[in-house]
Amino acid sequence: MKSMLALAAVWLLSLPAMAGTYAQTRYPIVFAHGMFGFNNLAGVIEYWYGIPEDLRANGAQVYVTQVSPLDSSVARGEQLLAEVQNILAISGAAKVNLIGHSHGGQSVRYVAAVIPGQVASITTVGSPGFGSPVADLVLNINNISPTLESIALGALNALGDIIDLLSGGQYTPNIQASLTSLSTAGAAAFNASYPAGLPTSSCGQGAAVTHGVHMYSWGGTSVFTNFLDPTDALLGLSSLAFFGQPNDGLVGQCSSHLGVVLRDNYDMNHLDEVNQAFGLHAWDVDPVALYRNQANRLKMAGM
Ligand code: CA
């Protein structure tokens, strides 16, 4: 009887430490943020709102990286590469599973191209692989008024500076390099050097595996998804640059395609894709569940 009680006590004590295994991938999951992104602001506000916690509770080993909020695709890729090499050293893992949102998609594609042997998979979410007309539009202000362009870029750089400061970064924001990389022409230039996973036909699927790296993507095509979320209005404004073509407020439906396109038209806008702001999203799709499901997909594939 005493031993049974002792066993029961041990079982009860072990309960809080028990995590699920649904998201328990073989290799660590590493998150790479987008434009104006961060790991967390003032140590409180997460970019990937509630997502790492959910994956950890389901057994995954998760790392959240930080690069410059505003810089070119290659510069941010180099910064992520350094972080990934640190993570590989710290964790002792042979490979990582990279997940990039928005401009973070180019970062994970860059790392996969440079060290394919140490990347099991990349997943891009709402990433403008073929650029964004919003970047084209902002850069085009220069043709109308160089003064207005200078004011606009100055204000955006200042915002990048504040984000970098609040998130304890160490980078000098470069809005011109960021927008140039995210423009249609800048994305095409990056793609010429880093074509892995891109669709070979218009708006098609890309190769599922390149140089041993598995590639996936998903995206959204809604803009106004939650009447309580004030960021919907900002995305409503930027979505005007698409002239009615399906988009998530900043990225077009086909521009998000990479590797295996899991789905390109979720009822999500660009910020819903990372469960912002503060978990406010459409009622019919849970952004956190998409990451949990993707972790399970990677797990089942032995990654
Ligand atoms: Ca939202």
Could you give the domains of the chain?
A: 23-300 (3.40.50.1820)
Task: Report H helices in the chain.
Answer: 2-14, 51-57, 73-91, 104-114, 133-144, 146-166, 175-182, 184-193, 231-238, 287-300
Distance of CA 80 from the midpoint of ligand 1 (Å): 26
Among 248, 255, 264, 272, the one annotated catalytic: 248
Q: Which residue, 155, 49, 35, is CA-closest to 102?
A: 35
Q: Which two tokens stand for residue 258?
A: 């990479």
- Phi, psi for residue 230 in degrees, rounded to 5: -65, -20
pLDDT at 122: 98
Residues 138-178: pLDDT tens digits? 999 999 999 999 999 999 999 999 999 999 888 999 999 99
**Residue 134 in contact with residue 34, Cβ under 8 Å?**
no
Q: Does residue 91 carry a catalytic annotation?
A: no
Q: Which residue, 108, 162, 153, 154, is CA-closest to 135?
A: 153
pLDDT at 170: 86
Which residue type sits at 298?
L
Cut 0.85: pTM above it: yes
Distance of CA 45 from the midpoint of ligand 1 (Å): 15
Distance of CA 154 from the midpoint of ligand 1 (Å): 27
Among 68, 72, 73, 102, the one annotated catalytic: 102
Distance of CA 69 from the midpoint of ligand 1 (Å): 20
What is the residue-wise DSSP string for 102-144? TTHHHHHHHHHHH-GGGEEEEEEES--TT--HHHHHHHHHHHH
User: In this structure, which residues have their CB less than 5 angstroms from ion ligand 1?
Assistant: 229, 271-272, 280-281
Distance of CA 210 from the midpoint of ligand 1 (Å): 33
Distance CA 133, CA 253 (A): 12
Q: Which two tokens stand for residue 162?
A: 């504040």
Per-residue pLDDT band for 16 (boundaries 50, 70, 90) equals: very low
Range 264-291 burial, b when 16+ CB lie within 10 A, else e? bebebbbbbbbbbbeebbbeebbbbebb
pLDDT at 15: 47
Distance of CA 139 from the midpoint of ligand 1 (Å): 26
Query: Cα-Cα-Cα-Cα dihedral of 159, 162, 168, 172, to 10°?
Result: 60
Distance of CA 232 from the midpoint of ligand 1 (Å): 6
Distance CA 79, CA 157 (A): 19
pLDDT at 168: 87
Q: Does residue 102 carry a catalytic annotation?
A: yes
Q: Does residue 270 carry a catalytic annotation?
A: yes
Per-residue pLDDT band for 17 (boundaries 50, 70, 90) equals: very low
**Residue 256 in contact with residue 128, Cβ under 8 Å?**
yes
Among 107, 270, 272, 281, the one annotated catalytic: 270
Asked whether the predicted pLDDT for residue 192 surpasses 50, the reply is yes
Residues 237-295: pLDDT tens digits? 999 999 999 999 999 999 999 999 999 999 999 999 999 999 999 999 999 999 999 99
Any long-range contacts for 118-121 (C-beta under 8 Å, 24+ apart)?
Answer: 118/84, 118/88, 118/94, 119/84, 119/95, 119/213, 120/26, 120/27, 120/95, 120/96, 120/213, 120/214, 120/298, 120/303, 121/97, 121/213, 121/214, 121/215, 121/216, 121/298, 121/301, 121/303
- Phi, psi for residue 175 in degrees, rounded to 5: -65, -40
Mean pLDDT for all residues in the chain = 94
